[in-house]
Amino acid sequence: MSDSHSIVLEFDSVTKWYGSVAALLDVSFQVGNEVVGLVGKNGVGKSTLMKLAVGLLDPSQGAVRVCGSDATTRESRARIGFCPDFDRLYEPISGVTFVAWMLRYHGVAGRAATERAEEVLTELGLAENMHRPIREYSKGMRQRVRLGQALSHRPQFVLLDEPMTGLDPVARAELADLIRGLPQRGVGVLVSSHVLHELEAVVDRVVLVHQGRLLADGKVDTLRDQLPERPHRLRLKGARLRELASQLTAWPEVDGVSFLRDGLEISLSGHGAFYERFSDLASDWQGGVHELIPLDDDLAAVFGYLVE
Amino acid sequence: MSIAHHYRPLDCERVSGFQRIWPLARQEMLGLFRTRWGVALYLVCLFPALGRLVMLLIMFGVVQIGPRSLQNRMASNMPASMDELNPARAAFYFESVLSTMPGMIFFLLLTSVVVSRCVARDRATNALELYWTRGISPWGYVFGKWLGGFLLAASMTVGMPLLLWISACFLAEDWTLMTDTIGQFSIGLLGIAFMTAIWTAIGTLISAIASSANLAMVAWSMLIVGSSAAGFVVSRVLDEDSLRSCLSFWEAGRVVVRSMADLPQRDVSVSGAFLMLGSLFGGLLLLVRRRMRVVEALR
């Protein structure tokens, strides 16, 4: 949970009904000066949640607040930067013209809007290309323009919808760096993505939504630890695997060991204690231990376990 | 909270509703001129007015084509049935806009690219939410889109007759042409502006209910050309010419303008034309209201 002094977005027991269908049920969470990932399958209420966050929908019950104000007010909208999932911008105009145009809706006058647009696009690494028409931009450059328009009016909270879609690995890494750097600039971030392993690398914590309910809220490793019924699985590669397996099966933290083609798969009940003991064992192991990889500690595995 | 220097709150002024809408209208209006094809299209749409300008230059003897006596006959002794070719009559300046050919065709050409695609294009690219989170209401957004399209279309339908008329006033030997036509011309011009507003509003509303820009363009073209064809065929089959102004979207507008400017017309139903345009506008408005209802929180 975030520090109460830095809460930029707050969902307080929010329920949203579409007729007789509940899109969200009693959802509560907060976003502070941090990057929070919003994870959920299609059709589980993620879009509704995002629309509520940017003030496009009214909650049926509960309240959505941005920096303490109701999310649907103009004051809140001025504090929000929204980066929707759209792939085509206004192709004939330049990136700086587009961002300046969006800024005018916030009451920034012509010349000042252009200067601010140039400033934000320079910060986002688009200084050399911002005066070229958008139709000549790569996907990565377009994403920067999208992010630029969301940040141009200096919001305190930005909501990014699928920002990684369609990007090559280099552009993804660059965008991830940009997103990670926003909290240091005083901007809270809620980011939604289906690319879970990349989302995990960007976020401080995640909010998991499933069938309209908040399934989990926290850091990925904390959430993983809260699933004791799901043993941690590890893949181990090293020398003298049979001897290693026989030793490990005697440990109380180890539930089971199975042989793979070129290694072992270990199931653990208490992985904290296991790592302490294993580091001692591995340092003295004749022939060496080459690899020890967690198989289900990532966001995708946690998400999979939680929605099963 | 620690806010770095770069992200201190931006010094924004409180902006009125119109100040939010105007950038949208301006963008819509100028969007056509940002590509070479768009500029070329607009210039092509000016051909009918340029044709009329050449006629003016010939009739007033600025350009010498044919014997002088012919020019004099053309300018001074035309029968009333040929008012649309006589620069001394207000109808001359409206004909390039109101006629089915070339007026309707060039209007269709311009508006099918600009007006009919405006909202549908933004819906298809998910850009609508971008506007709505900027404090523009859905109706404000539709209004801004319409305003941009209207101003662009009006630059052709209103601007060109006005330029032609001013040119004629200066080309004429004295101010008689101006004093004789100013009343009828002004009302007719107002009528054209009104009809351009209605036509483009209907085009914008079609765009607002269509799921894709291409579908909106096809529906808009079908409405203009299809209703004209249907009006023509039905009026011929039933031998009732007034039906044309009740069935044809374009003809209805033409009848309204000619009626406002008190220009002669036969076998038309002005009330039928108003009814046709009004019901089309009202029906589309209801459909758009339903389509835009998703954004319930915006006030």
Give B29-43 pLDDT, tens digit per residue.
Answer: 998 998 899 999 999
Q: How far is A299 from chain B (nearest CA, A)?
A: 28
The whole-number pLDDT of residue B294 equals 52
CB contact under 8 A, A84 and B295: no
CB contact under 8 A, A77 and B295: no
DSSP secondary structure, A215-243, as one string: EEEE-HHHHHHT-TTS-EEEEEEES-HHH
Mean pLDDT of A188-194: 87
The per-residue pLDDT for range B77-119, each reduced to its tens digit, is: 666 666 777 888 888 888 888 888 888 999 999 999 999 999 9
Check if B15 contacts A (Cβ < 8 Å): yes
Q: Which helix (H) or strand (E) holds A289?
A: strand A289-294
CB contact under 8 A, B23 and A123: no
CB contact under 8 A, B34 and A93: yes
pLDDT at A213 over 60: yes
Q: How far is A91 from chain B (nearest CA, A)?
A: 10
Check if B2 contacts A (Cβ < 8 Å): yes
pLDDT at B70 over 80: no
The whole-number pLDDT of residue A143 equals 85
**Cα-based distances in Å from B38 to B3, B41, B298:** 45, 5, 34
Mean pLDDT of A101-127: 87
Closest Cβ opposite residue A86 in set B27, B125, B136: B125
CB contact under 8 A, B297 and A149: no
Chain A CB contacts of B6 below 8 Å: 119, 123, 154, 185
The per-residue pLDDT for range B255-271, each reduced to its tens digit, is: 999 888 888 777 788 89
Check if B183 contacts A (Cβ < 8 Å): no
The whole-number pLDDT of residue B126 equals 73
Q: Higher confidence at residue B63 or residue A208? A: A208
The per-residue pLDDT for range A146-181, each reduced to its tens digit, is: 889 998 988 889 999 888 877 778 878 888 888 888
Q: Which helix (H) or strand (E) holds B178?
A: helix B176-209
* Chain B residue with the nearest C-alpha to that of A32: B1
* Chain B residue with the nearest C-alpha to that of A147: B130
What's the pLDDT band for A138 if we cut at 50, 70, 90? confident
Of B5, B199, B236, B246, give the one whose Cα is nearest residue B98: B199
Q: Higher confidence at residue B185 or residue B133? A: B185
Cα Rg of chain A (Å, integer) = 23
DSSP strand pairing (A213-218 vs A205-210): antiparallel
pLDDT at A60 over 60: yes
Per cent of chain A over pLDDT 90 is 16
Task: Report chain B's mean pLDDT, rounded to a whole number.
Answer: 84
Helix (H, G, I), strand (E, B) or coil at A22: strand
A4-89+150-218 folds as Rossmann fold (3.40.50)
Q: How far is B159 from chain A (nearest CA, A)?
A: 26
Q: Phi/psi class of residue A98: alpha, beta or left (left: φ > 0; alpha: ψ in -120 to 50)?
A: alpha
Comparing A115-119, A217-221, A295-299, B115-119, which segment has the lowest mean pLDDT? A295-299
**Is the distance from CB of A197 to CB of B15 less than 8 angstroms?**
no
Mutual angle of helices A139-151 and A169-181, in 10-degree steps: 10
Scored b (16 or more CB within 10 A) or e, B257-289 reads bbbbbebeeeebbbebbbebbeebeeebeeebe
CB contact under 8 A, B1 and A186: yes
pLDDT at B7 over 60: no
Q: How far is B274 from chain A (nearest CA, A)?
A: 37
CB contact under 8 A, B130 and A102: yes
The whole-number pLDDT of residue B12 equals 62
Per cent of chain B over pLDDT 70 is 87
- Mutation target vs A (from B1, B22, B117, B293; most A CBs, 10 A cutoff): B1
Residue B24 to residue B112: CA distance in whole angstroms: 19
Q: Higher confidence at residue A70 or residue A43? A: A70
Chain A CB contacts of B299 below 8 Å: 72
Check if B9 contacts A (Cβ < 8 Å): yes
* Chain A residue with the nearest C-alpha to that of B21: A105
The per-residue pLDDT for range A218-255, each reduced to its tens digit, is: 887 777 666 666 777 888 888 888 888 888 888 888 88
- B129-132 contacts at long range (C-beta below 8 A, 24 or more positions apart): B129/A51, B129/A54, B129/A56, B129/A82, B129/A84, B130/A82, B130/A84, B130/A86, B130/A102, B130/A149, B131/A105, B131/B24, B132/A56, B132/B295, B132/B298
The whole-number pLDDT of residue A102 equals 87
User: What is the end-to-end Cα distance of chain A in Å, rounded?
Assistant: 25
Q: What tokens were used for B13?
A: 């002024």
Comparing A78-92, A235-249, B242-256, which segment has the lowest mean pLDDT? A78-92
Comparing A100-104, B21-25, B49-53, B127-131, which segment has the lowest mean pLDDT? B127-131
Chain A CB contacts of B3 below 8 Å: 156, 185-186
The whole-number pLDDT of residue B165 equals 94
Number of cross-chain residue pairs from A and B with Cβ atoms under 8 Å apart: 107
The residues spanned by each domain of chain A are: 4-89+150-218, 228-307
Closest Cβ opposite residue B133 in set A54, A104, A154: A54
* Chain B residue with the nearest C-alpha to that of A113: B12
- Mutation target vs A (from B28, B134, B145, B294; most A CBs, 10 A cutoff): B134
Scored b (16 or more CB within 10 A) or e, B113-144 reads bbbbbbbbbbbbbebbbbbbbbbbbbebbbbb
CB contact under 8 A, B296 and A57: yes
* Chain B residue with the nearest C-alpha to that of A78: B134
What's the pLDDT band for B2 if we cut at 50, 70, 90? very low
Check if B136 contacts A (Cβ < 8 Å): yes
pTM of the model: 0.76
Say how many residues make up chain A: 308
Q: Cα–Cα–Cα angle for B237, B244, B232, nearest 5°?
A: 50
Closest Cβ opposite residue A186 in set B3, B23, B131: B3
**B227 Cβ partners below 8 Å, 6+ apart?**
B247, B248, B249, B250
Class of A228-307 in CATH? alpha beta
* Chain B residue with the nearest C-alpha to that of A135: B35
Q: What are phi and psi of B174, to 5 degrees?
A: -140, -170
pLDDT at A38 over 80: yes
Closest Cβ opposite residue B127 in set A80, A86, A109: A86
**B102: preceding bond cis by omega (within 30 degrees):** yes
* Chain A residue with the nearest C-alpha to that of B32: A92
Q: What tokens were used for A249?
A: 């099966």
Residue A276 to residue A109: CA distance in whole angstroms: 61
CB contact under 8 A, A104 and B298: no
CB contact under 8 A, B1 and A74: no
Q: How far is B135 from chain A (nearest CA, A)?
A: 6
**Is the distance from CB of A294 to CB of A233 less than 8 angstroms?**
yes
DSSP secondary structure, A69-127, as one string: EETTSHHHHHHEEEE-S-----TTSBHHHHHHHHHHTTT--HHHHHHHHHHHHHHTT-T
**ipTM score for this prediction:** 0.70
For residues B265, B269, B273, B278, the Cα torsion angle rounded to the nearest 10 degrees is 140
Mean pLDDT of B122-128: 79
The whole-number pLDDT of residue B1 equals 35
